[in-house]
Amino acid sequence: MQPLDTSRTAGVTPTPRRRAVLAGGLGALAALGPLAAGCAAPSASASGRTRLRYWHLFGGGDGLTMQSLLRKFSKAHPEIDVEAATLQWGAPYYTKLGMAGAGGRAPELAVLHLARLAGFGPGRLLDPFDLDLLAELGVRQRDFPENIWRRGQAHGRQFAVPLDTHPTVLYYQTEVCEKAGLLAGGKLRPIRGAEEFADALRAAKKVTGRPGLVTETLGVDCIIPWRLFATFYSQTGAKVLSADGRRLALDDAKALKVLEYMASLVEEGLWLRRADYTASIGLFNEGRTAFHLNGEWEIPSFRPTGLKFSMTRVPPLFGRPTAQADCHSFVLPHQADRGGEPNRAAHTLVAWLLKHSVDWAEGGHVPAYAPVLKDPAYLKLEPQSEYRDVIDDVALDEPAWFTGSASRMWIELGAVFSGVLTGSRTPRGALAEAKQRLRALLDTPNPLAGAAS
């Protein structure tokens, strides 16, 4: 969300500061001082309404959509005074949120990437949701995919309620693919297997004279190579870490197969070797290539240009139809005196945003609240509804403090696998380095653990 995703910020290359703050650990945390901890706040505003402080990291198109939703909420709930704060995406956001929770003087509500929950001190930095209160407001566990809902749990309690999932998807140029004979009824023909995907790229290249696929392959905090590896590797059924996130579980043979395949597409000239994030968006937007692999949040980047494109799920190249993803979720940062009307207001906003997430879905994210997936208004969204069933096949990182969006694993392994695509590393060498970095991360204590104790 450089990108519009709040998973990177659309079309903008992330800055080095993301890595610097992330690596800063407790030093960076402490440097935020009282600002991060927040300040004591009364439960009611001067107008007598219940005060609800809400922190999020949504910028770009996501941010505009969230602002619009909050305006609508305020009209529907004039008794609640929402004070929304948009903080810097990535490591700075999480450092500040962690410090606020550690001080017990945090906002009433915040957004957290679901895959980061394990490292965020549920029960210490975060408070659990009141499921009876959510049920009273019309939101129940059965309204969510089981695997996503379950990832929000810790110690038998619910610490995160998912808003959406933002998976890796396949964008395609409809005119190019039509000329290449890859469409049927205006939609991309099903692609089954790695060789069929390579054939599709070859057919597209014959039409354009250029590589059939463009993605981010290099740049500061380059993470798309990791997300693509994670997508293809998940399709083999293998895991990077053990289920509890404490041990390395990488399957060398399957990982090497994926990396060698990725390298082979580049070497054959089917995948553009060198492009940073912004360039990859620009090249696809100019119609210079047939396919683009990325998160689904770039719809707002392509729509205004009149580009004739559509989207679909990432084809099952290695067996299973899974795709790497994370989820935006709501959390309750720890407050020493959580309860009363401010806590009820937080639950009320969560329930309202879930029920009105058709608007949120316009930017590309797949709503996690199942009733919305059946809403006629959502089903009319094109191409968003084309990949909605991926909600049942998302592959989140295993739970560890260093996984999830904007995490050290994404940044470090993104840099390693970038070399496979640019040619600076062999697949076998990249695999060895990735395992070395993962072992180092596993041996490193959670920087937030001290703040949470």
Q: One digit per residue, pLDDT tens: the chain, 453 residues?
A: 433 333 343 333 333 333 333 333 333 333 333 333 333 445 555 568 999 999 999 988 888 999 999 999 999 999 999 999 999 887 788 888 888 888 767 999 999 999 999 888 787 889 999 999 999 999 999 999 999 999 999 999 999 999 999 999 999 999 999 999 999 999 999 999 999 999 999 999 999 999 999 999 999 989 999 999 999 999 999 999 999 999 999 999 999 999 999 999 999 999 999 999 999 999 999 988 999 999 999 998 999 999 999 999 999 999 999 999 999 999 999 998 899 999 999 999 999 999 999 999 999 999 999 999 999 999 999 999 999 999 999 999 999 999 999 899 999 999 999 999 999 999 999 999 999 999 999 999 988 765 544
pLDDT of residue 393: 96
The Cβ of residue 148 has, within 10 Å, a number of other Cβ atoms equal to 22
In contact, 87 and 416? CB cutoff 8 Å = no
pLDDT of residue 34: 34
Helix, strand, coil percent values for the chain (each to nearest 5): 45, 15, 35
Distance, CA of 52 to CA of 83 (rounded, Å): 6
Written as one letter, the residue type at 367 is P
Distance, CA of 328 to CA of 423 (rounded, Å): 34
Distance, CA of 231 to CA of 225 (rounded, Å): 10
Which of 346, 390, 345 minimizes the C-alpha distance to 366?
Answer: 390
pLDDT of residue 3: 39
Give the strand pairing for 183-184 and 153-154. unpaired
CA neighbours closer than 13 Å in the CB half-sphere of residue 363: 28
pLDDT of residue 441: 97
Stretch(es) of the chain classified as CATH 3.40.190.10: 17-165+328-379, 167-325+399-452
- The dotted CATH code for 17-165+328-379 is 3.40.190.10
Non-local (6+) Cβ contacts of 178 within 8 A are: none
Asked if omega into 445 is within 30° of 0 (cis), the reply is no
In contact, 108 and 344? CB cutoff 8 Å = no
Which of 407, 213, 201 minimizes the C-alpha distance to 294?
Answer: 213
Non-local (6+) Cβ contacts of 400 within 8 A are: 118, 119, 241, 245, 246, 409, 441, 442
Architecture of domain 167-325+399-452: 3-Layer(aba) Sandwich (3.40)
Q: pTM for the whole thing?
A: 0.88
pLDDT of residue 91: 76
How distant, in Å, are the alpha carbons of 8, 301, 317 from that of 11?
9, 8, 27
Asked if omega into 383 is within 30° of 0 (cis), the reply is yes
